[in-house]
A and B are shown apart, each in its own frame.
Chain A
Amino acid sequence: MVNSQRGKPTYTPPPAKYGGRHTVALIPGDGIGPELLNHVRELFRFSCVPVDFEVVHVNSSSTSEDDINNAIMAIRRNGVALKGNIETNHTMPPNHKSRNNLLRTSLDLFANMMHCQSLPGVQTRHKNIDIIIIRENTEGEYSSLEHESVPGVVESLKIITRNNSLRIADYAFKLAREKGRRRVTAVHKANIMKLADGLFLQCCKEVASGYPDIEFDSMIVDNTTMQLVSKPQQFDVMLMPNLYGNVVSNVCAGLVGGPGLVPGANYGRDYAVFETATRNTGKSIANRNIANPTAMLLASCLMLDHLKLHDYANMIRGAILTTMNETRLHTADIGGQGTTSEVVQSIMRIIQISITPPLWY
């Protein structure tokens, strides 16, 4: 493809930070993405966060890849992006690749990290869940390699490579060590896919031997999902290839309260893209002011942490968690009747109160 070849830069530019202000690419996406990202922008303006957004629109219904290449170029320039989900229409012809997938593979965002934590203000069936899920983001079942060699017989290729498996395992163990976690569980189906998942498991074991302070075990994916819904507190850090990661991360998101609460981050060697963990487009609730902004706001806090603006990140995170404690403000997906704008206004109010020093008489 001529376009994508032309865009390949010859070097990685320094971060776009001038006069103390960062520039971050913003991809609104479809469905609830644009309205939630508008709220993020408002909140940043209100809190005077030194981040400027470069907005890049991607039209999901156009067949040309110009839009997504433009977005990828913007992320290469700025190094960091915040995005909504770009819808992938199943009715389009098979050569129309998923835009989100294109973005992840072009920028080599090999690790998807999702931290599922029970929030104190949200009622769920399971309490005290604290799981970090690390999912390989570029290969596995999402390699988009399928063909129909004989009519009526389709072969879909799942690719597992040694390099990528070692890379993701290394990332997982490093993260576990950084965050002081005790155990890493690899999720697989190596009893059936002996070579593919077997290679993945072997790579994980190799990397685990270099981290003797962290316990390593493995679990088959069917058993994992059953354990997750019965006793999720047993899991600490979970590491898995692409499709199992998709399934397990959605299960965990459901356990802690739904897709509206959990942020996700995609890390590559040079780039980082932040979005909601379960990557839902939410077309049915778009523009009705009922979507839960928590996931996107927490994702923006992750982005601030990545840009080393920890003070702002903690301030906004604190305000979000305080707002979550008020049942009155819960949106429809966690069982309340509040609207998106009420939640955002309450967060802004809390930030204003927390930052204004008390009057001394």
Chain B
Amino acid sequence: MMAAALRGRLVTLAKGLSGARLQPLCARSLSVTSSQNVSESPPARADSTFKVTMVPGDGVGPELMTAVKEVFKAADVPVEFEEFHLSEVQNMASEEKLEEVLSSMKNNRVAIKGKIHTPMEYKGELASYEMRLRRKLDLFANVVHVNSLPGYSTRHNNLDLVIIREQTEGEYSSLEHESVSGVVECLKIITRDKSRRIAKFAFDYATKKGRSKVTAVHKANIMKLGDGLFLQSCAEVAELYPRIKYETIIIDNCCMQLVQNPYQFDVLVMPNLYGNIIDNLAAGLVGGAGVVPGESFSAEYAVFETGARHPFAQAVGRNIANPTAMLLSASNMLRHLNLEYHSNMVSEAVKKVIKQGKVRTRDLGGYSTTGDFVRAVVDNMRHRTV
């Protein structure tokens, strides 16, 4: 009780100093050349916790979030989740709920979420809640880092690919109308500003991670003006990065090349719909929707989720979903919050379990349940609090 009160007090005090950002000053080793030391030793004091918005979503989302919470508890990660159950299919979605999530995001700036499923029927609203959340937070860039898992062999091994997708416009602009009955016009919007923005994000990402090539994926032979503008913007931005090679490839050829020889690609950048397709394709190459983490960025906010977003409604309650993607995404979130030590702890434990091959969920060819997998991860973590 006292501890809880103390913790609450400490959190509010730290917050009072200046917002959520200043909390991370838990403790760092005081050595001046400590770039190696920081992730080696556990923090001496973890008085300050980070607050992260959590939106479990639909389908297996809540189960995966439970897995994340269990792993975090075992790793003693100083993160506190603010949960919001926003869901369109379960009729738990409304404008007020969306506003609540947004204000929580404005405060915390970091979120972890599951997929908020969009019902297929047209209920009067063209933009889904997930789309609206993305637009309001201006999460323009979606990054999916496709990495082969060591120990799990697929048809293509040692894959290391980054897919960057523009997430706010393109075919997902939610602008459709039926001017003549039986004839529907669906508008795909491409703007110069947003194309430049995503191209700059892609090149900046490539520079930061030391990548050597950025390939723009398009269909400008057919959509001459739309995708043509996208290509032109990418080429303009490429001029600022003389050290990074810039190439273009048409989407059909790209898909074929991905299944024949995916090693020729390094960083791919593309508009919305192609991104959706290529994300899922690449996830399939390394093991499916259960193993690839993804993140979305805006200038201010970062949202962590799985790479291929499926609610997987058939698996609800059956305890068979693969939590790898969500756990790896949670590890990326910890790295974003500057908690390198905890991030490495979680990701190494997950990778170790997969490498050992004894505990595998159904999609990777094993028979274990989600619970078994989580327990194995917890057992494998370096410092275990009893």
Contact = CB atoms under 8 A, between A and B. Distances in A.
A70 B242 contact: yes
Nearest to A43: B32
Nearest to B204: A16
B123 interface: no
A47 B196 CA distance: 32
Interface residues of B, number: 49
Given A19-B301, A39-B32, A73 B25 contact: no
A326 interface: no
A42 B33 contact: yes
A19 B34 contact: no
Given A14-B196, A315-B22, A352-B25, 12 more contacts: A9-B236, A9-B240, A13-B196, A18-B201, A19-B295, A19-B298, A20-B300, A38-B33, A45-B34, A77-B240, A355-B25, A360-B6
B154 interface: no
B9 A77 contact: no
Contacts of A54: 207-208
A351 B25 CA distance: 9
B32 A344 contact: yes
A18 B196 CA distance: 14
Given A19-B297, A47-B25, A54-B207, A341 B32 contact: yes
A48 B25 contact: yes
Contacts of B240: 7, 9, 13, 73, 76-77
Q: Considering the complex of A and B, which 5 residue pairs feature the smallest CB-CB distances, nearest first?
A: A19-B302, A357-B13, A48-B24, A311-B18, A355-B25
A211 interface: no
B68 interface: no
Interface of A: 6-7, 9-11, 13-21, 23, 38-39, 42, 45-48, 50, 52, 54, 70, 73, 76-77, 311, 315, 341, 344-345, 348-349, 351-352, 355-357, 359-360
Given A7-B239, A9-B240, A45 B10 contact: no
B85 interface: no
Given A13-B237, A42-B33, A54-B207, A355 B196 contact: no
Contacts of A344: 32
B302 A355 contact: no
Given A13-B237, A73-B242, A352 B141 contact: no
Contacts of B4: none
A10 B208 contact: no
A342 B203 CA distance: 39
12 contacts: A6-B242, A7-B240, A13-B196, A38-B33, A48-B338, A54-B207, A70-B243, A341-B32, A352-B28, A355-B22, A359-B6, A360-B6
A13 B30 CA distance: 38
Interface in B121-144: 141
B386 interface: no
B371 to A, nearest CB: 32
Contacts of A315: 22
A7 B21 contact: no
A6 B243 CA distance: 13
Interface in B156-202: 196-197, 200-201
Nearest to B233: A11
Interface string B74-111: 00000000000000000000000000000000000100
B303 to A, nearest CB: 9
Given A14-B197, A20-B300, A360 B9 contact: yes
Interface string B299-339: 11110000000000000000000000000000000001010
Contact of A23 (B10, B204, B336): B204
Contacts of B1: none
B22 A311 contact: yes
A45 B338 CA distance: 9
A6 B239 CA distance: 8
Interface in B13-56: 13-14, 17-19, 21-22, 24-25, 27-28, 30, 32-35, 38, 45, 47-48
B34 A42 contact: yes
Nearest to A77: B240
B367 interface: no
B241 interface: yes
Nearest to A360: B9
